[in-house]
Chains A and B, each alone.
Chain A
Amino acid sequence: MLTSTHSSIARPCCIPRSHIPTPRAVLSGLGGSPAPLIGPPLPQNAHLAYDASPMNSQLFISIHIILIVIHVILITVAYLIYLERKISAYIQDRVGPNRVGPLGLLQPLADGIKFMIKEDYQPHGADKYLFSLAPIAIIIPALIGWAVIPWGGYWDFPGFTVPLVGWVLEPSRVLIAAANVNIGIIYLLAVASLGVYGVTLGGWASNNKYSFFGALRASAGMISYEIPLGLSLLAILLVAGTVHPQSIIESQVAGGWYIISQPIAALLFFVCILAEANRAPFDNAEAEQELVGGYHTEYSSMRFALFFMAEYSHMVTSSAFLIVLFFGGYHLPFIGLTHPAATGLLAVGAKFFVLYFKVLLVISFMMVIRWTVPRIRWDQVMKLAWNNLIPAGIALLIITSVWVYLGWTAWWQLLGMNALLTVLIIALMPLLPRSQTNRKAQLAGSRFSPLPGEQVSTAPTSSAARDDQAPAVPSRETVGA
């Protein structure tokens, strides 16, 4: 049942739409309903007339999904800022926002109004056009990246005639996603790489040295972490054999979630989405102690808010992809309503809420990481990407492709492969060349690190310290006596 479902609905966009038997057509062909015989005879090329219509069922549903989900995401982003402030408050033993509305729940609204009525100022040295362009350039990729996420799986659309216009939408099986493109994962990567433009432009156009350094660091970090991101995705695509997100979920339902069979890839992906979103512990772009606010130092009012919203909607998108790729998407084990084969309206709603809840869990985890893990120095961030994550990603890709060639793609075989790779990495680690830069410098000649052959006294020099230390040894002797 599972495999047949998978193979028949894996690539809906490659099958000509006129060849998909719709439930109603199958029923009217089987049953004794004489209705099709009574009406006027259909023209010979009726299916061509359907294709020429400006609207079809998938497009109609997709537009409605866009209109619903973009509001869900924008409201979620507003409340994620509230959630982040609350989580940071509880971690730091504070209360957090609690003045506006019950439990401070109207705080995002107050923040929005405040952003709106602040002055939108440009420093005199700034590049006028690029300065205006940067917030727009960063919010667009953040807001269009989620287009290929299958929020609710397939739905058996019962057919509908649009009033006033008269478009007839045939009953068919539609995907509850903004865009049912069969290259979904490649679309994600293409859009995610565009985010670096807004950062670079914003930092360069501000004509501020802190912004400039922040933009340099951020763009270098973002492009570096894109490569292990792509390599960890390849390990999944090799096992799934497809780049269509819905098909990846279906193969996970059939063969076990990829968090079990590819844990190294999941770890790489999670680290990379933290770095891509410029989240702690990789938030060197806006390290407050060194760079003021980083690339958005000079931005105020709504333009600053756009940078902020871009970061949070990027978190939503990348967490949703983490869920889709590794945690089974909308699927919960042992619950039939969230199985891809369930295509009713209730199942679609249940799947949407399951996916949304999983995304909120991942985002909360990212927030806890931000407020508990110290920021890594910039050169360590870059070394982690180039010296550790990328070699690990290439090794994972090679060993996964060998395993796929041998046909060992059951979850326990892949888990064994991951264990083998971990053992190999740990065994090879001491043999790799170690970087001597940024080691702790020897204080040559000091009394705590003497030169070879030098005799120094480490006894305390001040009389106060000597007095503190003196009674310790005799008192122990008196106790023993």
Chain B
Amino acid sequence: MLLAVSDLSVYVPIGILVLMAVGFAVANIALTLIIGPSREGAVKGQAYESGMNPLMSARKRFNVRFYILAMIFLLFDVEVIFLYPWAATFGQMSPQTPEGAVFLGRIMFFLFTTVVAFIYAYRKGVFRFD
């Protein structure tokens, strides 16, 4: 069924809500900038690291584990996104039809490839976190 253009008006409230959220955040920060005090100081400007003088910048290299984790996350997230339209459509089909079997078989193969990738990552020790 074609989506009428006027049906896009259901997204207008989301736009209004985003504007209200931005306005709320910016107004709050602006108010506290206006009302609150403002004093500078060399020691005051240091980062708070439990009372020690900060030794160096915090912008340093960090463990590569987080990068690998983000890549694995991307794999799974994209996979899950593909599954949503399938799940909503498959739930509406009448049970035990040949089309349903084809639908199920294809998505099972898709899931199988993901499970293989998951097992590979597991064997490589991505999820050890030691």
Contact = CB atoms under 8 A, between A and B. Distances in A.
A243 B96 CA distance: 23
A62 B32 contact: no
Interface stretch (A37-45, A338-346, A402-410): A402-410
Interface stretch (A177-185, A323-331, A349-357): A177-185
Interface in A10-69: 13-14, 16-17, 51, 56, 58-59, 62-63, 65-66
Given A119-B37, A143-B20, A178-B14, A58 B9 contact: yes
Chain A contact residues: helix, strand, loop or mixed: helix
> What bracket does the count of chain B residues touching chain A fall in?
35 or more
Contacts of A231: 80
Interface stretch (A88-96, A103-111, A232-240, A422-430): A232-240
A180 B10 contact: yes
Contacts of B6: 17, 51, 56
B84 A186 contact: yes
Interface string B49-80: 11000100111001000100110010011001
Interface residues of A, number: 93
Contacts of B48: 123, 208, 210, 292, 297-298
Interface string A130-145: 0010011001100110
Contacts of A59: 9-10, 12-13
Contacts of B104: 401-402, 405
A147 B13 contact: yes
Contact of A206 (B13, B28, B47, B101): B47
Interface of A: 13-14, 16-17, 51, 56, 58-59, 62-63, 65-66, 70, 74, 115-121, 123-125, 132, 135-136, 139-140, 143-144, 147, 178-181, 185-187, 193, 204, 206-212, 216, 219-220, 223-224, 226-227, 230-231, 234, 237-243, 292, 297-298, 301-303, 305-306, 378-379, 382-383, 386-387, 390-391, 394, 397-398, 401-402, 404-407, 435, 437-438
Interface of B: 1, 3-7, 9-14, 16-18, 20-22, 24-26, 28-29, 31-33, 35-39, 44-50, 54, 57-59, 62, 66, 69-70, 73, 76-77, 80, 83-84, 87-92, 94-96, 100-101, 104, 107-108, 111, 114-115, 118, 122, 126-130
